[in-house]
Structure 1
Amino acid sequence: LEDNRGLVVVLFCLPASFIFDVCLRFRNWVIRYLFSAPHQHNERVRTIQAAVRKWNDLPTENRRPMCTSRPNWLSLSTTFFQKKDCHQITVSLFDILNLDEENMIVKVEPMVSVRDVTDYLITRGYALAVTLEIGDATCGGLAMAVGMTTYSHKVGLYQEAVVSYDVVTADGSLIHVERDNEHEDLFSCLPWSHGTLGFLVALELKIIKVKPYIHLQYIPVKGKKNYCDKMRLLSGALDKLATTPDYLEATVFSKDEAVIMVGNFSYADKPGEMGKVNNVARWYKPWFYKHVETFLRTGGGDEYIPLQQYLLRHNRAIFWVVEAMIPFGNHPIFRALLGWLCPPKPAFLKFTTTPGVRAMTFTRQVFQDIVLPMTVLEKSIDIAEDLFDTYPILIYPCRIYDHGVNSGQLRPPREDQMCPGANYGMFYDLGVYGVPGKVKRKERYDSVKAMRSMESFIRQHGGYSFLYADIFMTKEEFHEMFDLTLYEQCRVKYGAVGAFPHLYDKVKPEINVFEVGRTWAETN
């Protein structure tokens, strides 16, 4: 099965996950258009409140921590939190509630997907300020966890684009949470909380005015220092007053080769521009990162991409993860005949993951997003190669703001990491996805040791691990990376202690990572 994984995925996983996805979308459509409507939002919230109050009426010894009843396999997290050990509350909230064009805000329920809200906004000339590239991600999931995009060098993390949260707390109360109201402490701690402080039932998100196309320039750069310096310059890390592009990212194909992508909104209506339009999201087109790689040979170039296709450009190949599943997936014949089936749906892959498969994949691949300060960009490339030896690597610049005592779980940037004269530091997402080189070469590889070494590097330099992926930290190390002072205070103030799982318990892998790593190392 391992040696012929591509055939297994094509013959079974692709058609099965396609059917699975069609059924799932039909289910969501039925819920949204037949059994749901924006004007019914308050009624649906009252149902959730009643369910929480019913939990409060249980004898103390019968109260298990609460969580949503949404199955694990529907989330994009790589972990499988054991919901069977919790009291599950149904939260079926799929509607876009309101578009406030005057204040540039859209109000949505938490289970609205990135694809749905993007479709809704773009036809009206808007987009979310932070739009994740994976269409199946939900607005609420990103709000309670974290997200960033290639616009984040202007805005910051997803949480910076949240205007307000509506939350049902442990006693069944509904509270409106904003940065400057009496719940400012909770506003700071809901991001990165992963649903451990209350049930999110609505949120307001900042939107931006857009144009129908992105003019994308591809700039190949040789030399690690050269592309790192250029990313710092283009992102505004060196000067807060610098003019920065609308979108900015880099794909590193080797330690000494990268392609930097600079994107700006455009109408593509001038002579010659329409001839450069590239519909990169069409099923028969090369995977986006493979298309980007061609500019290493051609010496750069530019084109115009329809905005919606640009925003979801990495969706078909899940960045470059699909290549590990279907090595021939980018072949022109495969794309022409079966490209419309890609990608295998994350929900289906999780739905069909057995404990044995989970343990095996855990030791044979890496899937990590890491936030680090721009000051250590070169060092992080080196350590990622030493520990994982897999390319490409993703770089998204992102502001991390210093909110002082209201910084929540994120420790404020250190003084030497701040942008001159600004209240933020320029960090970046280092995306490392794929099969480590040693695994490909069938050499001995200790995934636990590698990830613990990377996490040590992250803590040393004031960075953060995205918590949707597996973490390899002890609880003490977790507290060193994240500041849980205000979080713990909110747990007490809003009655979350005993009512919801603790953050560390919610995000730690459901398997014993140290035992799995030790066993794998001994037997391989």
Structure 2
Amino acid sequence: MNLSLIVVAELDDLTVGGLINGYGIEGSSHIYGMFSDTVVAYEIVLADGRLVRATKDNEYSDLFYAIPWSQGTVGLLVAAEIKLIPIKEYMKLTYKPVVGNLQELAQGYIDSFAPRDGDQDNPEKVPDFVETMIYTPTKAVCMTGKYASKEEAKRKGNKINSVGWWFKPWFYQHAQTALKKGEFVEFLFGWLMPPKVSLLKATQGEAIRNYYHEMHVIQDMLVPLYKVGDALEWVHREMEMYTDVGVYYAPGPVLRGEQFDGAEAVRQMENRLIENHGFQPQYTVSELNEKNFWRMFNAGLYEHCRQKCGDVGTFMSVYYKSKKGRKTEKEVQEAEQAILETPDAEAS
């Protein structure tokens, strides 16, 4: 039907519910915001079994704004009405190498989608998708994509790259070639698209699976745009990690060879995010205690809705749901009881 989600998930196994209840920021978020910002209405089953419809201007407007990032702890999300946009069949992608220090790499990323003078009111001048991959402390490739028609893509002289074929290189390796050959343009159309994470896991042997579990960690950082350069410098200094920058900074594997205390590095990263008004998504491995978790996130609206909807004692708090390690039923019940016994809870 030539229609698409406005904010397109970058992994095959990401779900609508996960992108809403979790943390949906993708390559078109510089225009539209998070995935939850494209939602018109939610249908939610509350703790007492009622099914309600929440929009930004009805009686459940507070619930509408509390659902994103709540990890299913405010209610059970059973349906969502989402905005769509008309699209064309192909993606015209421009690969632009950027060389400089980390601040200059960050500025190259920002410049790739920031409207220039006179362009603010011309949507044709703003790319539909942006992404930057950082390969070393001095080299990056900025990519900007615009939807394109089949006629434009197949025009004489244009190159079409079906990136999904099994014999193609990993995309980050393909983009890296811009550092040698300079800026280039191609049209993307893949039959396979991203690999399914569940398929990759299913084909791993036990030894490889255990190695990833014990030695790898996923971390994402959401920082204000003007802090991207500082975030890159900090991660380089403390972790020596280089990977992709979207509207977020996403650390990759540790490159230095000496002994590395990953847990301590994560704690330092979390403290820095709190100090710089940044956020860490709840699906990552976190070292935050409860006090620091609520320093990072504002509990006001969340706790208001939890009390209003009778969630306390039925759904565990988002902190305990995303807390590292196993949670015993007793631990969760005691935490919920402590909330019920606070003066604010009694007053409400």
* Alignment TM-score, normalising by the size of structure 1: 0.57
CA distance in 2, matches of 1:381, 1:305: 29
Q: Are residues 351 and 205 of structure 1, via their aligned partners in 2, closer, same or farther at CA, if it must alter by over 3 Å?
A: farther
Partner-residue secondary structure (3-state), 1:489: helix
Partner-residue secondary structure (3-state), 1:130: coil
**Is 263-272 or 450-459 further displaced after alignment?**
263-272
Partner-residue secondary structure (3-state), 2:269: helix
Q: Are residues 162 and 228 of structure 1, via their aligned partners in 2, closer, same or farther at CA, if it must alter by over 3 Å?
A: same
| Match among 117, 127, 139 for residue 257 of structure 1 | 139
Cα offsets for 1:143-186 (capped at 9, x unmatched): 11111111100000111011111011111100001111100111
CA contact (8 A) 2:95 2:143 kept: yes
Partner-residue secondary structure (3-state), 2:285: coil
The residue that corresponds to 1:234 in the other structure is 112
The residue that corresponds to 1:431 in the other structure is 250
The residue that corresponds to 2:80 in the other structure is 203
Question: How is 1:142-291 mapped onto 2 (pairs within 5 angstroms)?
Answer: 142-223=19-100, 224-236=102-114, 241=120, 243-270=125-152, 272=155, 275-291=158-174
CA distance in 1, matches of 2:297, 2:198: 33
CA distance in 1, matches of 2:116, 2:323: 36
How far apart are 1:348 and its partner, in Å? 3.9
CA distance in 2, matches of 1:134, 1:185: 30
Q: Are residues 187 and 153 of structure 1, via their aligned partners in 2, closer, same or farther at CA, if it must alter by over 3 Å?
A: same
| Match among 236, 239, 260 for residue 445 of structure 1 | 260
Q: One-letter code of the match for 1:168? A: V
Unaligned runs of at least 5 residues, structure 2 = 328-348
CA contact (8 A) 1:232 1:238 kept: no
| Match among 18, 33, 47 for residue 141 of structure 1 | 18
Q: One-letter code of the match for 2:291? A: E
Partner-residue secondary structure (3-state), 1:214: strand
The residue that corresponds to 1:303 in the other structure is 186
Identity of aligned residues (%): 30
CA contact (8 A) 1:237 1:374 kept: no
How far apart are 1:394 and its partner, in Å? 1.2
CA contact (8 A) 2:44 2:78 kept: yes
What CA RMSD, in Å, does the superposition of the two structures yield over aligned residues?
2.6
* Alignment TM-score, normalising by the size of structure 2: 0.85
How far apart are 1:479 and its partner, in Å? 0.5
Q: Are residues 465 and 249 of structure 1, via their aligned partners in 2, closer, same or farther at CA, if it must alter by over 3 Å?
A: same
Question: How is 1:293-332 mapped onto 2 (pairs within 5 angstroms)?
Answer: 293-306=176-189, 315-316=194-195
CA contact (8 A) 1:219 1:301 kept: yes
CA distance in 2, matches of 1:246, 1:370: 22
CA distance in 2, matches of 1:157, 1:213: 23
Q: One-letter code of the match for 1:485? A: G
How far apart are 1:274 and its partner, in Å? 7.1
Q: Are residues 290 and 274 of structure 1, via their aligned partners in 2, closer, same or farther at CA, if it must alter by over 3 Å?
A: same
The residue that corresponds to 1:4 in the other structure is none
Cα offsets for 1:331-378 (capped at 9, x unmatched): xxxxxxxxxxx8663664899799x94xx7566323112110111111
Unaligned runs of at least 5 residues, structure 1 = 1-123, 317-341, 398-428, 513-524
Counterpart check, 1:491 vs 2:306: yes
CA contact (8 A) 2:21 2:69 kept: yes
CA contact (8 A) 1:268 1:274 kept: no
